[in-house]
């Protein structure tokens, strides 16, 4: 059998044809890369199937294509769209609360006969989180490509003068960085486009290991991007640009990008406007995506475009600057060739550029470059020798580089020839996928044996009810407890529902307390905050779960790292400790401490996660362990869809039970902070406390009848 690959590309607008590149901040070069990669991989003889998972969108503002559940890319390649979160189109910063929902759907999908894949390749932080969860739950190897990284973006935005709260509010940057850390902790292979990415950007992450990273430069579609222009395409471009330009045959400075801050287009307009040399010698052509009504654009796009319009007006650049509203994907290679025929330059002034696919496209068409001296352009310049790099944070340096690059015609011709030759030699899709597949197969051979996906046990039940011994059953009202006892012992509930008890205690302590309640025997126990699973038949600890969560867990290193926070934390006594749980008591209530603890663990490269319960108790667990993950493990091992799982959440720290699990009950006496963590719709808030809420939940979700 050949290789089966699953790519995750979750944000933006993704389809197999007529990509709407530049329509918004989320539909850019990554979109094109994933599509071309999937198409090229599917053409390889050793590959059976390539699937790209993206979001299903039902929104009148976007094309109906994005609401199709399945779309063919070509032979052996398809797009699979899954609904998660609201139906409408969302920018990527708003997708975070809904990613667990997608991870659960993918586990169910991949568990079906004939759907299992050999590798998952996650693109960007959001897909990285989903990929890590699915890889962890199913034992499927993970490849991660960040495309752009949160820590680097944060660094650049801080340098540009934005404050941390503004960055967090706009970009949800802490969630993005946490997702990247989670993906790096799980990944078998990290694919970067440049050595600078690995050495200077990924290396800022605690969970990154240099041995994970391999540099695989992307390819260029030689059938589209080449130096041979036609008179027909040139005449088509005249109608696009002529309305803007008084002297359209001047050598153009061409920029093609999305209208986002990171691309730094206003700095290019300012450099052009301030230079008499550039204004006399060149036109400026800005292709900044497509727009109909600017009022319908995202705020960031509106702001960038308004800056451009203001600068054009300030320097009186009318007749010298073109900024067309619409263009087609087919016109992009034609624009490169049109600019090259006139002796122009391609300009990429981005503040940070992980790679710069447009630089390769321009070079393939014979158009030299002036680009940012950051990230990918350095590698491209080293291989292509087809232009100049500049410090784009210095307007004077950018202006000087542009003036110099256009000043020598013979050098321009040498750069043009160098670019065309280097692209054909170094940046073909054939070379890219050949190296890509070789690395994957090598990693399969050398990676440590993974903990396999869940071992299926004969299903004892058709539903799962998870109750927390430390909250819902801690101080039950006697009448409600009697009613619950009767409900659980009555048919058909008794035969169809598997009772699972959650607790932070040891199994022995939990069983002692549970006997006092006189409730039916549970089918399983999830003890010590989700780090132990015991099955009722013999109370033995589940070895598969223990092996899964033990990966990369170092208890002594956790103790040493957390010792740096001893002024805030006191280690609890031995009764509260276990192999996979380190428990602390806060010396004073401190909502910010969970963030400090997480940063401390990341800084030491530890795959561990802090959890705060009831505002005073902080546990550090293996990153792969939690009560919600243990519930999913049991449901999967019993063959139950998550729709047949009912949980009760009441305390701070129960937010994980609201995250993705589709049927949750919240009692009337819940912690006020809990519903602020609500991320999905099927949350039932009872008017009764504790056990009364459990009874209401059984009725609300119809857990009492047969199914």
Q: Please give the pLDDT value at position 233.
A: 81
Is it true that 3-218 and 231-427 share their CATH fold? yes
Pairing mode of beta strands 70-74, 524-527: unpaired
pLDDT, tens digit, for every residue of 520-557? 999 999 999 999 999 987 899 999 999 999 999 999 99
pLDDT, tens digit, for every residue of 64-104? 999 999 999 999 999 999 999 999 999 999 999 999 999 99
- Nearest-10 Cα torsion for 633, 635, 636, 637: 80
10-46 as b/e, with b when 16 or more CB fall inside 10 Å?
bbbbbbbeebbbbbbbbbbbbbbbbbbbbbbbbebee
Q: Please give the pLDDT value at position 305.
A: 93
- Residue 526's nearest CA partner among 598, 423, 629 is 629
Residue bearing the bigger pLDDT, 400 or 661: 400
Q: Note whether 324 and 244 are within 8 A (CB).
A: yes
Q: Please give the pLDDT value at position 707.
A: 45
pLDDT, tens digit, for every residue of 453-465? 566 666 678 999 9
In whole angstroms, give the CA distance from residue 79 to residue 37.
Answer: 13
Predicted confidence (pLDDT) at residue 653 exceeds the cutoff of 90: no
In whole angstroms, give the CA distance from residue 90 to residue 75.
Answer: 30
Report in angstroms the alpha-carbon separations of 420 from 36, 361, 384.
Answer: 20, 10, 8
Query: CB neighbours of 634 closer than 8 A, spacing ≥ 6?
Result: 464, 498, 500, 524, 526, 533
Beta-ladder partners of 8:
53, 122
Q: Note whether 154 and 177 are within 8 A (CB).
A: yes
Give the residue-averaged pLDDT of 340-367.
93
Report helix angle 124-138 to 99-110, nearest 10.
40
Give the residue-averaged pLDDT of 581-604.
92
Q: Please give the pLDDT value at position 327.
A: 83
Q: Is the dihedral of CA 367, 368, 371, 373 positive or negative?
A: positive
| Residue written as token pair 């230079």 | 275
Query: CB neighbours of 474 closer than 8 A, spacing ≥ 6?
Result: 690
Q: Please give the pLDDT value at position 705.
A: 57
Q: Note whether 697 and 686 are within 8 A (CB).
A: yes
DSSP 33-46: HHHHHHHHHHTSTT
55: three-class secondary structure by DSSP: strand
Q: Please give the pLDDT value at position 356.
A: 85
How many Cα atoms within 13 Å fall on the side-chain side of residue 117? 26
Phi-psi region of 68 (alpha: psi -120 to 50; beta: other; left: phi over 0): beta
What percent of the chain has a predicted confidence (pLDDT) above 70?
A: 96
Q: Please give the pLDDT value at position 193.
A: 87
Residue bearing the bigger pLDDT, 496 or 290: 496
What the block records as the tokens of 652 is 């701070």
User: Phi then psi for 534, rounded to 5 degrees?
Assistant: -120, 130
Give the residue-averaged pLDDT of 604-616.
92
Helix (DSSP H) and strand (DSSP E) numbers for the chain: 26, 25
pLDDT, tens digit, for every residue of 195-248? 888 888 999 999 999 999 999 988 898 899 999 887 778 777 888 898 999 999
Residue bearing the bigger pLDDT, 675 or 384: 384
CATH superfamily of 3-218: Glycogen Phosphorylase B; (3.40.50.2000)
- Residue 414's nearest CA partner among 480, 357, 363 is 363
pLDDT, tens digit, for every residue of 633-647? 999 999 999 999 999
What the block records as the tokens of 462 is 């058709």
Q: Note whether 248 and 238 are within 8 A (CB).
A: yes
User: Phi then psi for 243, rounded to 5 degrees?
Assistant: -60, -20
The domain made up of 463-551+624-700 has a fold known as: Rossmann fold (3.40.50)
Q: Please give the pLDDT value at position 417.
A: 97
What is the helix, strand, coil percentage profile of the chain, to 5? 45, 15, 40
Q: Note whether 431 and 372 are within 8 A (CB).
A: no
Predicted confidence (pLDDT) at residue 500 exceeds the cutoff of 90: yes
pLDDT, tens digit, for every residue of 424-444? 888 989 889 999 999 988 886
Q: Note whether 589 and 576 are within 8 A (CB).
A: no
The angle subtended at Cα 27 by Cα 26 and Cα 28, nearest 5°, is: 105
Q: Note whether 498 and 608 are within 8 A (CB).
A: no
Give the residue-averaged pLDDT of 390-403.
95
With residue 646 as reference, give the H or E element that holds it.
strand 645-648
What percent of the chain has a predicted confidence (pLDDT) above 90?
A: 74
In whole angstroms, give the CA distance from residue 95 to residue 454.
Answer: 28
253: three-class secondary structure by DSSP: strand
- Residue 517's nearest CA partner among 538, 541, 495, 501 is 501
pLDDT, tens digit, for every residue of 271-329? 999 999 999 999 999 999 887 777 778 888 899 999 999 999 999 999 999 999 888 88
The domain made up of 231-427 has a fold known as: Rossmann fold (3.40.50)
What the block records as the tokens of 479 is 């009448």
Report in angstroms the alpha-carbon separations of 197 from 28, 193, 434, 592.
Answer: 19, 7, 21, 31
pLDDT band per the 50, 70, 90 thresholds, residue 450: low
20: three-class secondary structure by DSSP: coil
Identify the weakest region by mean pLDDT among 228-242, 486-500, 665-679.
665-679
Give the residue-averaged pLDDT of 172-191.
96
What the block records as the tokens of 370 is 């002036």
627: three-class secondary structure by DSSP: helix
pLDDT band per the 50, 70, 90 thresholds, residue 376: confident
In whole angstroms, give the CA distance from residue 680 to residue 697.
Answer: 16
| CA distance from start to end of the chain | 39
Q: Note whether 637 and 456 are within 8 A (CB).
A: yes
Query: CB neighbours of 547 closer than 8 A, spacing ≥ 6?
Result: 451
Domain ranges of the chain: 3-218, 231-427, 463-551+624-700
Query: CB neighbours of 673 closer than 8 A, spacing ≥ 6?
Result: 652
Residue 197 DSSP label: I
Give the residue-averaged pLDDT of 352-370.
92
Q: Report the mean per-residue pLDDT for the chain.
A: 91
Task: Kindly give the residue spans of alpha helices, DSSP state H, lying in 519-554.
Answer: 543-550
231: three-class secondary structure by DSSP: helix
In whole angstroms, give the CA distance from residue 389 to residue 349.
Answer: 9
Q: Please give the pLDDT value at position 660.
A: 74
pLDDT band per the 50, 70, 90 thresholds, residue 449: very low
What the block records as the tokens of 271 is 């450099």
Identify the weakest region by mean pLDDT among 45-54, 351-360, 604-613, 637-646.
351-360
Q: Is the dihedral of CA 282, 288, 290, 294 positive or negative?
A: negative
Q: Note whether 15 and 71 are within 8 A (CB).
A: yes
In whole angstroms, give the CA distance from residue 240 to residue 366.
Answer: 21
Q: Note whether 49 and 4 are within 8 A (CB).
A: yes
């Amino acid at each position: 059998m050949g290789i089966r690959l699953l790519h995750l590309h979750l944000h933006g607008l993704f389809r197999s044809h007529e990509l709407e590149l530049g329509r918004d901040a989320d539909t850019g070069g990554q979109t094109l890369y994933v599509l071309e990669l999937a198409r090229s991989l599917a053409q390889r003889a050793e590959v059976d199937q390539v699937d790209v998972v993206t979001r299903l969108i039902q929104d009148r503002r976007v094309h109906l294509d994005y609401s199709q559940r399945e779309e063919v890319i070509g032979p052996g390649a398809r797009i699979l769209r899954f609904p998660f979160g609201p139906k409408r189109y969302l920018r990527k910063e708003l997708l975070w609360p809904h990613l667990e929902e997608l991870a659960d759907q993918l586990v169910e999908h991949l568990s079906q006969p004939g759907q299992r894949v050999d590798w998952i390749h996650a693109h960007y932080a959001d897909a990285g989180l989903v990929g890590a969860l699915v890889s962890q739950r199913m034992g499927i190897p993970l490849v991660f490509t960040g495309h752009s990284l949160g820590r680097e973006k944060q660094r650049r935005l801080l340098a540009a003068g934005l404050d941390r709260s503004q960055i967090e509010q706009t970009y949800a940057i802490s969630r993005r960085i946490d997702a990247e850390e989670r993906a790096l902790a799980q990944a078998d292979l990290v694919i970067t486009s440049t050595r600078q990415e690995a050495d200077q950007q990924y290396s800022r992450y605690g969970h990154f290991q240099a041995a994970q990273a391999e540099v695989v430069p992307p390819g260029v579609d030689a059938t589209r991007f080449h130096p041979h222009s036609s008179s027909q395409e040139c005449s088509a471009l005249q109608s696009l640009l002529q309305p803007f330009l008084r002297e359209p045959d001047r050598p153009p400075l061409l920029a093609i990008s999305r209208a986002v801050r990171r691309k730094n287009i206003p700095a290019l307009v300012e450099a052009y406007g301030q230079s008499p040399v550039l204004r006399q010698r060149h036109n400026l052509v800005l292709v900044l995506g497509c727009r109909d009504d600017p009022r319908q654009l995202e705020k960031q796009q509106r702001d960038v475009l308004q800056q451009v319009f203001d600068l054009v007006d300030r320097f009186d650049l009318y007749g010298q600057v073109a900024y067309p509203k619409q263009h087609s994907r087919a016109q992009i290679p034609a624009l490169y060739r049109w600019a090259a025929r006139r002796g122009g330059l391609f300009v990429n002034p981005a503040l940070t550029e992980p790679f710069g696919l447009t630089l390769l496209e321009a070079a393939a068409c014979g158009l030299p470059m002036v680009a940012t001296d950051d990230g990918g352009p350095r590698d491209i310049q080293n291989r292509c020798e087809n232009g100049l790099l500049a410090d784009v944070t210095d307007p004077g340096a950018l202006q000087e580089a542009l003036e110099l690059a256009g000043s020598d015609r013979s050098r321009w011709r040498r750069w043009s020839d160098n670019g065309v030759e280097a692209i054909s030699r170094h940046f073909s899709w054939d070379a890219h996928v050949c190296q890509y597949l070789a690395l994957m197969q090598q990693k399969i051979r050398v990676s440590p044996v993974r903990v396999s996906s869940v071992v299926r046990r004969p299903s004892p039940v058709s539903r799962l009810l998870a109750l927390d011994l430390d909250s819902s059953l801690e101080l039950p009202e006697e009448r409600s407890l009697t009613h619950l006892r009767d409900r659980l012992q009555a048919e058909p509930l008794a035969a169809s529902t598997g009772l699972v008890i959650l607790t932070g205690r040891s199994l022995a302590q939990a069983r002692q307390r549970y006997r006092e309640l006189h409730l039916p025997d549970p089918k399983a126990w999830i003890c010590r905050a989700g780090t132990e699973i015991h099955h009722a038949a013999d109370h033995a600890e589940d070895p598969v779960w223990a092996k899964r969560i033990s990966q990369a867990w170092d208890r002594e290193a956790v103790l040493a790292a957390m010792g740096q926070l001893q002024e805030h934390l006191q280690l609890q006594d031995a009764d509260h400790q276990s192999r996979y749980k380190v428990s602390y008591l806060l010396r004073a209530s401190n909502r910010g401490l969970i963030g400090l603890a997480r940063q401390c663990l990341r800084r030491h490269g530890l795959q561990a996660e802090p959890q705060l319960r009831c505002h005073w108790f902080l546990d550090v667990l293996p990153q792969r362990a939690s009560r919600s993950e243990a519930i999913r493990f049991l449901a999967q091992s019993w063959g139950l869809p998550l729709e047949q799982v009912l949980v009760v959440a009441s305390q701070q720290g129960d937010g994980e039970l609201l995250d993705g699990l589709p049927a949750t009950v919240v009692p009337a006496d819940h912690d006020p902070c809990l519903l602020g963590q609500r991320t999905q719709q099927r949350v039932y808030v009872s008017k009764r406390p504790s056990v009364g809420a459990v009874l209401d939940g059984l009725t609300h979700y119809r857990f009492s009848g047969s199914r």
